[in-house]
Structure 1
């Protein structure tokens, strides 16, 4: 076991959970997911994020990670990048089952259903590990109670980087809780920007030139019917926000619901 991330060497603060790693799955040399035990007292809304760290220093480094599991899950799942010299991910990518992960007790975030006005169709725009909060939302029955159609869009550089969400969506069909309510409602639209694949291009370009909507067989985004969430790199957030505003959508928040929301605190 990696001594850096085994049992805590220092007292755990009152505002932090110390949880055990249940499973780890590596997808590429840059991406992996892991699941930890869920404290009985931990409550969150699908789409929120928490601060996580490792017990490898007297003052552990914490970073914001969107919870990828839905609010009903008995474990807590995360989807992460690997950064060679990252203060946290350099060590986090080495965890194995049985290791300890620290998780602050208070979740927060804007990618929650309550921050959107009622609508017909929900677009979830992501790049890289920005798909994590949407992995939570597409596994939440409430998402399908509120929207007739859910379009999950992920753009990555290479095909292998799409594996996490592709496998997750394929498995939803057999999910006893969400399988039936997501059937016919959830659509996954993936694109790559570097490696050749059936669909290529940055999602903002595909929105501007209309190809995203023609590929989906849908009309262009309209504030009357469509709602959106965005999670990705800062450049992607700003550009997608600009495009959505050009369609007439307005940014909302927990205390002021509107037609789209942005998450700026995530690792990826």
Structure 2
């Protein structure tokens, strides 16, 4: 049974009208980059709760959550309206197996996400693990509009700090964006455009992580399987590790 910590909101940062990051100060706890907790709020006599990945480093004392306000949602509109100083509940212990210790070794690591699915990858990249294990890392983030591209300062810092070994490739589906690809992840994999953009091959030496929209994950897995990259399972290691983000 989950236990609950009481945290204090110290920042609610708006990336745009619907996308925001809640930063919370709470009693410290251990987690593995890529794991999630549940955020809860008391509302009309009951706790409303939902799972959110931790964006921050496991060493960071401030918890960071990337949230999209869902029209008609029970919790996200309440989270959107939180102000610094207000309280929020955080579940314990952290959960989930979408972590790098579940990913086999390889030459390259492809971190592919849509929307808020980029969150667990940012937590991973804050640690030394991916940089020590993989020669090349590609962070691919697909969104509808350029205004949905988050954490740009941090990402560009990694680009500058790891020339030749870290690539950031935005994908924007509904408008043109300088340096970005136009389209959807499965189609860009199938056409070879994604490989050409990052200058690397999706072959059996690659490890791919998929997080975000379930349709993207389903179609991308199919395309990757056709390329000879099977799903990674504990009983049968492969090349594609997935997280059903919602």
Q: Is the 8 A contact 1:115 1:255 kept in 2?
A: no
Query: More relative contact order in 1 or in 2 (CA 8 Å, sep 6+)?
Result: 1
Corresponding residue for 2:3?
A: 15
Corresponding residue for 1:191?
A: 171
Which residue, 222, 247, 252 being the options, matches 2:203?
Answer: 222
The 5-angstrom pairing of residues 76-87 of structure 1 reads 76-87=63-74
Structure 2 unpaired stretches of 5+: none
How far is 1:252 from its partner? 2.4
User: Hey, which bits of structure 1, 4+ residues long, moved more than 4 A?
Assistant: 253-257
Q: Is the 8 A contact 1:250 1:260 kept in 2?
A: yes
Corresponding residue for 2:103?
A: 116
Which residue, 125, 139, 143 being the options, matches 2:112?
Answer: 125
Mapped to 2, the partners of 1:103 and 1:254 lie a distance apart of 29
Q: Are 1:168 and 2:154 counterparts?
A: yes
Corresponding residue for 1:63?
A: 50
Corresponding residue for 2:38?
A: 51
Corresponding residue for 1:147?
A: 134
Mapped to 2, the partners of 1:247 and 1:72 lie a distance apart of 37
Mapped to 1, the partners of 2:88 and 2:233 lie a distance apart of 30
How far is 1:167 from its partner? 2.6
Structure 1 unpaired stretches of 5+: 1-12, 174-178
Q: Is the 8 A contact 1:208 1:243 kept in 2?
A: yes
Summarize the Cα distance change of 1:253–1:32 in structure 2 as closer, same or farther, 3 Å threshold: farther
Corresponding residue for 1:202?
A: 184
Mapped to 2, the partners of 1:14 and 1:237 lie a distance apart of 29
Mapped to 2, the partners of 1:165 and 1:207 lie a distance apart of 24
Q: Is the 8 A contact 1:47 1:133 kept in 2?
A: yes
- Structure number with the higher strand fraction is 2
How far is 1:161 from its partner? 0.5
How far is 1:185 from its partner? 2.3
Summarize the Cα distance change of 1:232–1:16 in structure 2 as closer, same or farther, 3 Å threshold: same
Mapped to 2, the partners of 1:93 and 1:185 lie a distance apart of 36
Aligned length, in residue pairs: 244
Summarize the Cα distance change of 1:38–1:146 in structure 2 as closer, same or farther, 3 Å threshold: farther
Three-state SS of the structure 1 residue aligned to 2:67 is strand
Deviations, residues 167-202 of structure 1 (Å, cap 9, x unaligned)? 3202447xxxxx85x454221100111122232111
Which residue, 243, 248, 255 being the options, matches 2:223?
Answer: 243
Q: Is the 8 A contact 1:123 1:153 kept in 2?
A: yes
How far is 1:243 from its partner? 1.6
